[in-house]
Amino acid sequence: MKLNTRPLHRRFGVEILDIDLRALNDAEFEAINALWIEHPVILIRNQLLDEREQIHFSKQFGEINIHVRTDIRSRSNPEVVLVSNLRLESGQHIGALASGEAKWHTDSCYKPKPDTGSILYAIEVPEDGGKTAWANTQLAYEALSEDMKTKVNGLRGEFAYQIYSVDITEEPDVHKIRDLTPDVVHPMVLTQPGTNRRSLYLDPLQTYGIEDMPPAESRALLDNLVAHITAPAFVFQHKWQRGDIVLWDNCRVLHQREPFDPDTPRLMKRTTVFLPPDQYPVPFQP
């Protein structure tokens, strides 16, 4: 089945038009999955989903993840993470990331088995600010020199939860979460089944080194790769509208969010899934 689409960026990403995710048939879902295999970022606008409907849609791609942080989960459905600057009357945040800048990163890379597919649904968004950008690590790998490809193939990055500041979590909470998520290593180059296209896999915030490489050398290489990945040629930036849902593959893109007025409400709901390793690149052995 062919869906009605249009490109998001001249080199990657696609918007799916004229579809209601509450009433998907099997053929429509398979067509969405085929597009996600081809494009690491997918936008679908004008949706009206409750949390159970978002969870149902997400589970069709793979096993759904429950985030390690209890403080940012939905009170009704723990599969849903709240991304918001809203607060309770007590002043406590009800979600992650507040209104400041969220710098370039990739979700859940600090885990032995990262949940690779992120699905983010916009409930309330500011008119100005708060845009999200994605940087394509597949295109970035393909643009490397042959010498650099040879250098990075076979390297393994060292990852730790929030080794640099990510959001509003207090320091004691960081230590508690890191106790639950010991440091891990992952390959820095991943291969997508079927296409055999390769992508760089690293996180500017949570990759603190490269296995068997001196810290100064590894830091310099990581910084150079991040600068390369986030060059304008590989980046698509999205201005959110209420009802938008965006799907992205954390093994083929980094993402970041620009800040926005803290007095302007913003509420997003995110689910994450383990994308099937026979179709999508993954940083662990299936």
CA separation, residue 44 to residues 20, 101, 183 (Å)? 9, 24, 35
pTM of the model: 0.91
| CA geometry: angle 95, 56, 49, nearest 5 deg | 60
Separation between Cα atoms, residue 243 and residue 15, nearest integer Å: 13
Number of domains observed in the structure of the chain:
1
Q: Which domain holds residue 131?
A: 5-273
Q: β-strand 184-187 against 189-191: which pairing, if any? A: unpaired
The reply to whether 36 falls in a domain is: yes
The reply to whether 286 falls in a domain is: no
How long is the chain? 286
The reply to whether 282 falls in a domain is: no
The reply to whether 281 falls in a domain is: no
Separation between Cα atoms, residue 211 and residue 9, nearest integer Å: 35
CA atoms lying within 13 Å on the CB side of residue 188: 29
> Are 65 and 274 spatial neighbours (Cβ–Cβ below 8 Å)?
yes
pLDDT at position 173 is: 58
Written as six digits, the tokens of 25 are 């048939």
pLDDT at position 87 is: 67
CA separation, residue 130 to residues 25, 95, 98, 127, 240 (Å)? 33, 15, 10, 8, 8
Task: Give the DSSP per-residue string, 202-264.
Answer: --TTTEEEETTS-HHHHHHHHHHHHHHHTSGGGEEEE---TT-EEEEETTTEEEEE----TTS
Could you tell me the mean pLDDT of each successive run of 10 residues in the chain, 286 residues long?
95 97 97 98 98 98 90 91 76 68 89 95 93 97 98 96 54 61 91 97 94 96 98 97 98 94 90 97 92
- DSSP state, residue 65: P
Alpha-carbon torsion (239, 64, 161, 69), positive or negative:
positive
What CATH number does the domain containing 261 carry? 3.60.130.10
Q: 285 — phi, psi (to 5°)?
A: -75, 125
pLDDT at position 263 is: 85
